[in-house]
């Protein structure tokens, strides 16, 4: 995806990352599965951002423009758009875990459904949650 070495743009276009397989086998980011199993992997800010974007994309499936400083402030991470800001790190984390992706410098696509955790991702879980998934740590 696009890298924002100079910081995040003032506004980004938010769209859906269309993935038919994820829509069939995945989990809504607002689901119990996402909260129990994805949360320990990607962290609370990342999951909350995914949930917020899913709700907004429900209302605006064609996509929408999002002020990045406003979004950061809404998430409680401060309004900075710097390259190392909490919002930029959160978006980078979502990109790294393939939950969102930069389409270009001004457009980011969010998954509406999260795949079941991979074995590698499940190894990040506490033992009790890994046991629930039937994976070993």
Tell me what the pLDDT averaged over the chain comes to. 92
By three-state DSSP, how is residue 34 classified? helix
Q: What is the mean pLDDT of residues 92-112?
A: 95
- What span, in angstroms and rounded, lies between the C-alpha atoms of 115 and 118? 8
Tell me: the pLDDT tens digits for 49-78? 999 999 999 999 999 999 999 999 999 998
Interior/surface letters 28-54, b for 16+ CB within 10 angstroms, e for the rest:
bbebebbeebbbbbbbebbbbbbbbbb
Per-residue pLDDT, 3: 52
Neighbours of 20 (CB within 10 A): 8
**Predicted pLDDT at 88:** 94
Q: Find, among 136, 132, 131, the residue nearest to 119 by Cα.
A: 136
In the chain the first and final C-alpha atoms are separated, in Å, by 31
The whole-model pTM stands at: 0.90
């Amino acid at each position: 995806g696009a890298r924002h070495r100079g910081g995040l743009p003032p506004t980004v276009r938010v769209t859906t990352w269309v993935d038919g397989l994820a829509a069939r086998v995945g989990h809504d980011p607002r689901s119990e599965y996402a909260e129990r199993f994805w949360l320990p992997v990607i962290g609370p800010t990342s999951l909350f951002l995914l949930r917020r974007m899913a709700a907004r994309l429900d209302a605006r499936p064609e996509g929408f423009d999002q002020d990045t400083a406003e979004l950061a402030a809404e998430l409680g991470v401060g309004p900075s758009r710097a390259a190392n800001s909490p919002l930029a790190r959160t978006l980078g984390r979502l990109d790294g875990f393939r939950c969102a992706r930069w389409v270009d410098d001004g457009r980011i696509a969010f998954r509406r459904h999260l795949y079941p955790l991979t074995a590698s991702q499940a190894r990040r879980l506490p033992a009790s949650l890994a046991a629930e998934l039937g994976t070993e740590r």
